[in-house]
Amino acid sequence: MQLETLGLVGNCQISALVSASGAVVWCCLPRFDSEPVFAALLDELAGGSMLIAPDEGGVGTQRYLENTNVLETRFDTGSGSFRILDFAPRFVLYERFFRPTKLCRIIEPIEGSPRIRMSCKPRLGWSKGVPTETQGSHHIRYHGYASQLRLTTDVPLSYLNEQAFALTERKHLVLSWGDPVEEPLAPLCERFLSSTVQYWQTWVKHCSIPPLWQKEVIRSALALKLHCFEDTGAIVAALTTSLPEAPASGRTWDYRYCWLRDAYYAISAFRLLGHFEEREQFIQFLLNVAASAPDLDLAPLYGIDGRTLADERILSTWPGFEGHGPVRVGNAAAAHRQHDVFGEMVLALSPIFFDERYAAERSEASLSLLLRLARKAAAVAGTPDAGIWEYRSDWRPQTFSSLMCWAACDRVARVAQRHAPAQEREFRGAADQLRGQILARSFNAGMQSLVATYDGSELDASLLQAVMLRLLPGQDPRILSTVRAIQQSLRVPPSVWLRRYAVDDGFGVPRSAFVICTFWLIEALALCGQVDEARQAMEQALLALSPLGLLSEDIDAHSGRLWGNFPQAYSHVGLIHAAFAASPRWADLL
């Protein structure tokens, strides 16, 4: 299977990937970072799946119902046509968001009497054990899980062993974790579907979007929303683990966790989209994380419940996506030192002191936390760390980390001007000192560019963020030449795609392009006044979208095939930022 043939559904509590063949190939229950119930994505033969398909096989055509996260897969066969509607219920009920741990599948004949086959083969997590089954009148109970797993359906249970049958009327299936379905199934599913469609379409109506690339931004917004774990406010980097950055690369990571860096950029995207709720929830998550680390010895990433992660481990019995292992659970980057995290924390929390909608979070304690974070940033800037790309080789002073530490001091100086005037001078002085240090140690005069490490000579696409963070004015020659140097040296010709860097990071030199880097370039070009060029690059980049408008972490710049964990929140965040930067304003058009 290819990533381009997968659709994402979810409800901010659970998620699933559905292939164009009609199979649920990835689903972790009861939350994003749980062990998988279906994982054919990582082991097609023994990983488990839930299949609804034409008897003769083949792939269907997928689309989302307009402006929703309800996925339609349509099959046109010799015996007739039918469609599957896949979704996880989400809507407002009793003034709260209703997001049960249930996956709904509705099968609807469209023309003729199509013959279909079905199966449900869950697995007991990473053990790949096969659960025992107990059949009721209209359900199957799967034993061996921490909570009850039940498939309730109005399809004859005898047909769930892939025996072909004629689909003559609308049928319903609900896979539930915990509380089972106890009321009439068909009206329940229809009510869930109607309410879920209405919820997502209303949510989209509340989105701000740019005049250009509206459909792409809306789909990215909807995909990004599904990466929000509403229970705690955490935002995960991706909903999958171990999808390789490139074939046989060994670059397979578990991304089902909350990176403070990635989540900051995500809430920045929600700001552009005009959605407040997700930002408020993530700020509460950050405040909780900070409270658990009184010395501010922060990890780069946390579990979605705010806990630090256990060690990374390799599952040797799993072949991996298309056989490209290893399959990893956990992420060793949790033990890294990444100094940029203090900048991202400050950037995420500082709106508390500028935006009156955050008045409830504004307190002496939150102000004190912000000041302490900036002091920590000033103290660690210029010292070796793993950096944004989480090098698993020798650590060096990373320019991007120092850039974010400068941003922390710069923004806190502005906060202090309003809320702690006696402290403003301290942080303005720290910011000026760090800017001078970065320009003295990281601007390579021979290359006319900021470089990846102090006194180094390698380029790094993350330094395009110097434009967005306003280290220097957008028309400063050093900024303009940095953008051009990165564009020329890291681009994979003749494409628009950029690599992160071009050095051996312990796994060799990366072969794939990193999707967000091109969106950073587009945003930087637009902010530097090169709007026409930015728009042309945007049009080329959007050709990489899957048929459903989804993006992974990486792309093979030559074949256009998507690689890496999928969908990737970071990539959709980049698309949203680039679209807003390169699009004209509505006021200029109306």
- Alpha helices by DSSP H, 155-294: 185-205, 214-225, 260-273, 277-291
Question: SS3 for 142?
Answer: strand
pLDDT for 395 equals 83
Confidence (pTM): 0.96
Which amino acid makes up residue 457?
S
pLDDT confidence tier of residue 361, bands split at 50, 70 and 90 = confident
What is the DSSP-derived secondary structure letter of residue 322? G
Contacts of 284-293 with CB under 8 Å at 24 or more apart are 284/233, 284/361, 285/232, 285/233, 285/234, 285/258, 286/260, 286/345, 286/348, 286/349, 287/349, 287/361, 287/366, 287/369, 288/232, 289/260, 290/345, 290/369, 290/373
Domain positions in the chain are 3-204
Helix or strand holding residue 104 (H, E)? strand 102-112
pLDDT confidence tier of residue 389, bands split at 50, 70 and 90 = confident
Question: In this predicted model, what pLDDT tens digit does every residue of 43-67 receive, in sequence order?
Answer: 999 999 999 999 998 999 999 999 9
Question: In this predicted model, what pLDDT tens digit does every residue of 497-521 receive, in sequence order?
Answer: 999 998 877 788 888 999 999 999 9
Cis peptide before 326 (omega within 30 of 0): yes
Question: In this structure, are residues 118 and 159 in contact, taking their beta carbons and an 8 Å threshold?
Answer: yes
Q: How high does pLDDT run on average in the chain?
A: 95
Cα dist. 278→30, 144, 264 in Å?
Answer: 21, 35, 11
Question: In this predicted model, what pLDDT tens digit does every residue of 302-356 receive, in sequence order?
Answer: 999 999 887 899 999 999 999 999 999 999 999 889 999 999 999 999 999 998 9
Q: Give the 3-state secondary structure of 6-35.
A: EEEEECCCCEEEEECCCEEEEEECCCCCCC
Assess whether pLDDT exceeds 80 at residue 391: no
pLDDT for 324 equals 97
Query: Token match 């601007």: residue?
Result: 443
Question: In this structure, are residues 88 and 10 in contact, taking their beta carbons and an 8 Å threshold?
Answer: yes
Question: In this predicted model, what pLDDT tens digit does every residue of 442-483 receive, in sequence order?
Answer: 999 999 999 999 999 999 999 999 999 999 998 999 999 999
**What CATH number labels 3-204?**
2.70.98
pLDDT confidence tier of residue 294, bands split at 50, 70 and 90 = confident
Q: Which residues contact 277 (CB under 8 A, 6 or more apart)?
A: none
Cα dist. 68→295, 375, 456, 573 in Å?
Answer: 43, 44, 47, 18
Which amino acid makes up residue 356?
E
- Among 117, 112, 121, CA closest to 57: 117
Distance CA 169, CA 181 (A): 21
- Alpha helices by DSSP H, 105-213: 185-205
Read off φ and ψ for residue 205, nearest 5 degrees: -60, -25
